[in-house]
């Protein structure tokens, strides 16, 4: 009986200890992680992630805040999902957004 309890605790601990299955660097040196559902994401810090997923056959970039203890985070309501066209628009505006950030920092 004692060994069964230890096995359960051990497997539970390893599940909670990590929120990703795989980690690999991108060509830019950014760590790409894979969650337990097989979705790839980039950790943005402060419990925020950019996750690539498919919903009803449509690929989406989901930028979302997570809550809960490390290793057992749950997705929160705060976030946005962008379709590929919306992501391309945002990506195309990145230099303009950078300039607006610089202007705000000067104030």
Looking at residue 71, its pLDDT comes to: 77
pLDDT tens digits for range 44-69: 999 999 999 999 999 999 999 999 98
Alpha carbon distance 31, 25 (integer Å): 4
pLDDT tens digits for range 76-93: 999 999 999 999 999 999
pLDDT tens digits for range 1-35: 444 444 333 333 333 334 555 566 666 778 999 88
Give the pairing of strands 74-82 and 58-67: antiparallel
Looking at residue 21, its pLDDT comes to: 52
Alpha carbon distance 71, 18 (integer Å): 5
- What is the residue-wise DSSP string for 70-102? TTS-EEEEEEEEE-HHHHHHHHHTHHHHHHHHH
CATH number of the domain that 74 lies in? 2.30.31.10
**For the chain, what is the domain count?**
1
Q: How large is the average pLDDT for residues 33-48?
A: 91
Written as six digits, the tokens of 92 are 């195309």
49: containing domain = 2-106
Alpha carbon distance 32, 24 (integer Å): 5
**Contact status, residue 63 vs residue 79, Cβ threshold 8 Å:** yes
Q: Is pLDDT at 70 greater than 90 in this prediction?
A: no
**Contact status, residue 52 vs residue 64, Cβ threshold 8 Å:** no
């Amino acid at each position: 009986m004692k060994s069964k309890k230890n096995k359960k605790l051990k497997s539970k601990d390893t599940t909670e200890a990590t929120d990703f299955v795989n980690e690999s660097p991108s060509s830019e040196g950014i760590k790409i992680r894979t969650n337990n559902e097989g979705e790839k994401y980039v950790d943005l810090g402060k419990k925020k992630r950019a996750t690539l997923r498919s919903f009803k056959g449509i690929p989406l970039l989901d930028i979302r805040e997570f809550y809960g203890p490390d290793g057992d985070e749950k997705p929160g309501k705060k976030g946005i999902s962008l379709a590929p066209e919306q992501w391309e628009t945002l990506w195309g505006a990145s230099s303009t957004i950078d300039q607006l950030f610089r202007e705000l920092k000067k104030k």
